[in-house]
């Protein structure tokens, strides 16, 4: 019995901790906007097809919500995995550039040119920053 009360208190504390501001900037987070758009489109399509084939509005709504949730979650996870692989690939490429830079004496302009040619500085894509103090330190930012 006390375990149920503790769980209820913990749940209520977690719910009280949620702020409206957490949801107002949700679309600015990576992958969220595209995942929700894919989910909305798929849910609408599945709901319409289900309604046209069955003529049952409640069943159509259930299918639409299920498709929305499933596609949104799957596309979000796929996008996050793709971003993680891209960051790993960029870190490896920049690590190789840094090791070449030590041996060949490449200038910072040469490194920037190599990044531009490799397509790493396109607007809206992931940019990689190499800090000058420690050449081995690589960070990623959006």
Number of neighbours of residue 83 by Cβ within 10 angstroms = 15
Number of domains making up the chain: 1
Q: Is the pLDDT of residue 42 over 80?
A: yes
Contacts of 119 (CB under 8 A, 6+ apart): 125
Read off the pLDDT band of 64 (50, 70, 90).
very high
In a domain, 131, yes or no: no
pTM beyond 0.75: no
Range of the structural domain that residue 23 is part of: 15-118
In a domain, 141, yes or no: no
């Amino acid at each position: 019995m006390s375990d149920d009360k503790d769980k209820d208190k913990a749940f209520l504390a977690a719910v009280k901790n949620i702020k409206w501001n957490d949801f107002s900037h949700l679309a600015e987070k990576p992958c969220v906007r595209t995942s929700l758009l894919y989910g909305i489109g798929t849910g609408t399509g599945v709901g319409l097809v289900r309604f046209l084939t069955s003529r049952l509005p409640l069943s159509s709504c259930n299918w639409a919500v299920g498709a929305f949730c499933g596609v949104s979650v799957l596309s979000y996870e796929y996008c996050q995995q793709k971003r993680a692989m891209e960051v790993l690939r960029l870190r490896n490429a920049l690590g190789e550039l840094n090791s070449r830079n030590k041996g060949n004496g490449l200038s910072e302009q040469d490194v920037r040119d190599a990044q531009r040619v490799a397509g790493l500085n396109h607007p809206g894509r992931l940019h990689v920053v190499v800090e000058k103090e420690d050449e081995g330190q690589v960070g990623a930012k959006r």
